[in-house]
């Protein structure tokens, strides 16, 4: 099996609109597209304001089509720039991507499955539904959005699932997530991908139901929050560093660009590796992670730097990694990070 961190070239062979503001990209890798596990994504090298960065996009479906992979990108004009870059790509453009990798893989032993998708969160859920349909598994899908016209792949899902698909929209009626969880078999599992508010509602309902935490699986957008995205200031008093975080940049990226070493992994607010202690705060802390609990969010004692922000104002933090007693740059910084990653906890 190839490593997911190996970069390969792909060509954009087709694009199409699958819903207003959502564009599907067909990507053909050199040598053809291999199979991938459910819930897989590609890492894509994007160029935003002249700088290279990485974005992750879920693969559509449960298997390659004609030697190609498919991803779908929702355009977010007020986002961090990844969707605008992807939408600028014409057919024939070439990209560097990783091989598919999955941190959201479907199990094989649940008695029943509840799949929940909010908006563009349908991208990994569609492949799961295809896989379960092929397995003749017991499952149903909840698909939530603003309106039916805004829901990508809706016709394809209706044809595939029939009565096992339940659609809820703002103008037709909202889903009772707690009731759906109550109806789920005691040994069932739930998989959810969607905006932060939906994820939190499902997590609270799941906890209230008394079900096992390891039977709830989720993947995040890593960008949605309660407040509008605004610039803010982050300070690291121990280092005497003050960094401005623009609206289109994460706190993690801004600190790294300033030479502050930060441990990180998922960059989606899921693993908690980049968490930092909050020393002082002016402004509202916009927790966009799913690592901390509601109680931990309310305390505002820690922040996941990869996704969470301050809605205007200033935050002073203490990074978890103590290997940066002075600012480093270039090869010196890279070498220090390698040493820190290899050191025991």
DSSP assignment of 141-207, as one string? EEEEES-GGG-TTHHHHHHHHGGGEEEEETTTB---HHHHHHHS-TT-EEEEEE-HHHHHHHHHHHH
Residue 6 tokens read as 């190996």
CA atoms within 13 A on the CB side of 65: 13
Domains 113-220 and 232-340 share a fold: no
Alpha-carbon distance 217 to 106, whole Å?
9
Beta-bridge partner residues of 265: none
CATH 2.40.30.10 fits 7-102, yes or no: yes
Per-residue pLDDT of the chain (345 residues; tens, 9 = 90+): 444 578 999 999 999 999 999 999 999 998 889 899 999 999 999 988 888 888 899 999 999 989 999 999 999 887 778 899 999 999 999 999 999 999 899 999 999 999 999 999 999 999 999 999 999 989 999 999 999 999 999 999 999 999 999 999 998 988 999 999 999 999 999 999 998 889 889 999 999 999 999 999 988 765 567 788 889 999 999 999 999 998 878 899 899 889 998 888 888 788 889 999 999 999 899 998 878 888 898 899 999 998 899 988 999 999 876 554 444 444 333 333 322 222 223
pLDDT at 71: 97
In terms of CATH architecture, what is 113-220?
Answer: 3-Layer(aba) Sandwich (3.40)
Locate the domains of the chain by residue range: 7-102, 113-220, 232-340
Whether 18 and 84 have beta carbons less than 8 Å apart is answered as no
pLDDT of residue 249: 84
- Which distant-in-sequence residues (6+ apart) come within 8 Å of 104 by Cβ? 38, 39, 41, 124, 191, 193, 217, 218, 219
CATH architecture of the domain formed by 232-340:
Roll (3.10)
Q: With contact defined as beta carbons under 8 Å apart, do 292 and 272 qualify?
A: yes
This prediction has a pTM of: 0.79
């Amino acid at each position: 099996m190839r490593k997911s961190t190996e970069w390969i070239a792909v060509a954009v062979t087709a694009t199409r609109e699958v819903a207003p503001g959502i564009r599907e990209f067909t990507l053909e890798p050199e040598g053809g597209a291999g199979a991938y596990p459910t819930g897989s994504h590609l890492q894509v090298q994007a160029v935003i304001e002249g700088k290279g960065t990485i974005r992750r996009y879920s693969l559509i479906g449960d298997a390659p089509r004609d030697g190609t992979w498919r991803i779908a990108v929702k355009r977010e004009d007020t986002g961090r720039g990844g969707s605008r870059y992807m939408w600028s790509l014409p057919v024939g453009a070439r990209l560097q991507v990783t091989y598919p990798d999955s941190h959201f893989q479907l199990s094989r032993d649940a008695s029943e499955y509840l799949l929940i998708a909010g908006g563009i969160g349908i991208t990994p859920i569609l492949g799961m539904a295809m896989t379960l349909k092929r397995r003749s598994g017991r499952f149903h899908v909840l698909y939530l959005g603003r309106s039916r016209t805004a829901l990508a792949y809706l016709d394809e899902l209706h044809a595939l699932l029939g009565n096992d698909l339940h659609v809820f929209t703002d103008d037709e009626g909202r889903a009772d997530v707690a009731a759906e969880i109550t109806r789920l078999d005691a040994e069932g599992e739930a998989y959810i991908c969607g905006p932060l508010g939906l994820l939190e509602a499902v997590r609270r309902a799941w906890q209230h139901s008394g079900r096992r935490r390891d039977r709830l699986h989720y993947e995040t957008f890593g960008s949605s929050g309660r407040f509008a995205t605004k610039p803010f200031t982050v300070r690291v008093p121990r280092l005497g560093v003050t960094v401005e975080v623009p609206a289109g940049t994460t706190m993690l990226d801004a600190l790294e660009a300033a030479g502050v070493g930060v441990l990180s992994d998922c960059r989606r607010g899921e693993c908690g590796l980049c968490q930092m202690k909050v020393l002082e705060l002016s402004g509202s802390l916009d927790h966009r992670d799913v690592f901390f609990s509601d109680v931990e969010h309310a305390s505002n004692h820690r922040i996941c730097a990869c996704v969470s922000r301050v809605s205007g104002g200033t935050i002073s933090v203490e990074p978890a990694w103590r290997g940066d007693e002075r600012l480093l740059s270039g090869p010196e910084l890279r070498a220090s990070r390698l040493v820190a990653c290899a050191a025991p906890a």
